[in-house]
Amino acid sequence: MSAAPHLLPEPILVVGSGLIGTSVALALTRAGAQVLLSDVDQANLDIAVAAGAGRPLTDGDVPAIVVVAVPPRRAGTVLAEASAQWPAATLTDVTSVKESVLAEARALGADPSRLVGGHPMAGREVSGAAGALASLLDDRIWVVTPLPESGIEHVRNVHRLITSCGAQPVEMGVREHDDAVALVSHAPQVLSSALAGQLCPADPDAVRIAGQGLRDMTRIAASNTALWTDILVSNAGPVADVLDRIAATLDRTAAALRRTASGELVEESAVADLLVDGVNGQARIPGKHGAAPSSYREVLVQIADRPGELGRLFTAVAEAGINLEDIRIEHVLGRPSGLVGLSVRPESGDAMIETLRARDFDVRG
């Protein structure tokens, strides 16, 4: 899960002991690297040190790589300061926006030949050092955005850093990255929050009949608001572009619905087109291991919600020797029970159903 540590220059300084910074430090320590830590907040630093993420930076330390893991609004400044303080160090960051952060770092004098942007795709709803995990970056994509001036040895160092953390480096252009995260992460956050916000003034009975769809769509609305304000403002242009496109789609759909309802014009095709586009777009999202989601078959099992039922189910699945590609659990309100969706490769579907039925599970094909 890690590169040979001798290829990774040391020591590595991680600035910022939040969720991502501490997880990166824990992963590097796990890989055998010497890790230095700093944070403006002594309490955060203490938690990270106590967790075994590294030792505090002291005067005279000369890091070979500096990983800046502070919020976007501070990252440019911290990169520029590190560039001045350690004139040979490779400089990278882990913030979720790249253009504004890297432009600010350069404007403040950071050496572009040593500067290589980075963004590990491993967000969580929790934040802070206490939520950090050595395994948080395992198998994750970590986007690398070199500048035109970035020296090849510094780009290589960042690749080694990433593989040492157990993640997968993927190179992208700075603007390409920002447009991509606006689409797949930042605008969805706004959408989730905007939808969840509609529930504030809603009738309690309306909220009571909410199903799994609404739950899924509002899960990320519970994220850290201060961090997300910072992220959205730092990637304002690309996010606003996506929001405009979605708002225009909603406006068009609302207008088509109203005209159809009033009998003024029948515009069902506009509504149908929206839904068909949605089906096609959804199908582009890779499944686990990068496979298309449509390449799996979902076997549904109704289980009683009592201790032991899930254990019995997953033990039966394991004993059948069938690997699960995905799992989904639908909850129902009121009395305890649940519907478990087990996604398997199509050729394993019949065997899975047969195995579970033989053990008296309430299963359907």
Are 48 and 182 contacting, i.e. CB atoms less than 8 angstroms apart? no
Q: Which of residues 214-243 bind its own copies (CB under 8 A)?
A: 214-223, 225-226, 228-229, 232-233, 236-237, 239-240, 242-243
Residue 311 interacting with its own copies (CB under 8 A): yes
Q: Which of 3, 64, 108, 196 binds its own copies (CB under 8 A)?
A: 196
Task: Decide if residue 152 touches its own copies (CB under 8 A).
Answer: no
Q: Does 174 bind its own copies (CB under 8 A)?
A: no
Among 181, 344, 353, 356, binds its own copies (CB under 8 A): 181
**Residue 168 binds its own copies, judged by CB under 8 A:** yes
Q: Least distance from C-beta 192 to its own copies, angstroms?
A: 6
Q: Residue 60 or residue 307: which is nearer to its own copies going by CB?
A: 307
The number of residues that bind its own copies (CB under 8 A) is: 137
**Interface residues for its own copies in 258-287 (CB under 8 A)?**
258, 260-261, 268, 271-272, 274-286
Among 10, 108, 314, 357, the residue binding its own copies under the rule CB under 8 A is 314
Residue with Cβ nearer its own copies (106 or 114) = 106
Look at residues 42, 337, 92, 99 and name the one whose alpha carbon lies nearest to residue 233: 99
Alpha carbon distance, N-terminus to C-terminus of the chain: 37
Using the rule CB under 8 A, is 313 a contact of its own copies? yes
Interface region with its own copies, contact rule CB under 8 A, candidates 29-37, 76-84, 101-109, 173-181: 173-181
Stretch that binds its own copies, among 14-22, 107-115, 147-155, 168-176 (CB under 8 A): 168-176
User: Counting contacts by CB under 8 A, is residue 194 touching its own copies?
Assistant: yes
Does 143 participate in binding its own copies (rule CB under 8 A)? yes
Among 13-21, 60-68, 82-90, 289-297, the segment contacting its own copies (CB under 8 A): 289-297
Q: Is 295 in the site for its own copies (CB under 8 A)?
A: no
Residues 72-131 contacting its own copies, CB under 8 A: 121-123, 130-131
- What are the phi and psi torsion angles at 53 (to 5°)? -80, -20
Is the distance from CB of 228 to CB of 185 less than 8 angstroms? Answer: no
